[in-house]
Amino acid sequence: MNRALRVSIACATVAAGAALTLSLAAQQQGQVVGDAARGKPLFADTFNCYACHGFDAQSGERRLVPMNYTQEGFITFVQNSPLPNMPPFPDASPQQLADIYAYIRTITADAPALGDLPLLEDILERKTRAAAE
């Protein structure tokens, strides 16, 4: 076996061990570790989140991307939603919601940069100048 292959195997082994250690540490602290691959079908099929939030989690009633909640906050909110337009999901397990959270965190925001919206940039500059006066 050549040296490069042995180094690659060693690195992969160390990385897998580190991931397992982090996962076990999180579980010992009562945290669940989400899996984005499991979260995608939960988002799209099981809980039908897409119906209100869009398949990209960036359209509909409320944008979820970028995600502004911690995993714990997301789980608590979804299970106990106080909003009239968001039904609570008390029967969704913390693991299922952690998986959905992990999936949402993998979605890249598609909002353009402020510099790509000159009219909006102009409005914000005028607002800033008016506030300074």
pLDDT at 47: 96
- Record the pTM: 0.63
- Report which of 10, 31, 13 is spatially closest to residue 22, judged by C-alpha positions: 31
Residue 21 pLDDT > 60, yes or no?
A: no
Overall average pLDDT of the 1-18 stretch: 42
Which is higher by pLDDT, 6 or 102?
Answer: 102
- What one-character DSSP code corresponds to residue 66? S
C-beta separation of 34 from 100 below 8 A: yes
pLDDT in tens, 38-56: 999 999 999 999 999 998 9
128 domain-assigned: no
Residue 29 pLDDT > 70, yes or no?
A: no
For residues 70 and 25, membership in a common domain is answered with no
pLDDT in tens, 68-80: 899 999 999 999 9
List helix spans (H) across 54-117.
71-79, 94-106
For residues 6 and 46, membership in a common domain is answered with no
- Collapse the DSSP code of 104 into the 3-class scheme (helix H, G, I; strand E, B; otherwise coil) and give the result: helix
For residues 24 and 36, membership in a common domain is answered with no
d(CA 22, CA 46): 28
Q: What angle do CA 68, 74, 79 make, to 5 degrees?
A: 150
Overall average pLDDT of the 100-107 stretch: 96
* Domain boundaries, position 58: 32-112
- Report which of 53, 45, 56, 59 is spatially closest to residue 87, judged by C-alpha positions: 53
Residue 15 pLDDT > 60, yes or no?
A: no
For residues 42 and 91, membership in a common domain is answered with yes
d(CA 66, CA 111): 10
Residue 97 pLDDT > 60, yes or no?
A: yes
For residues 19 and 41, membership in a common domain is answered with no
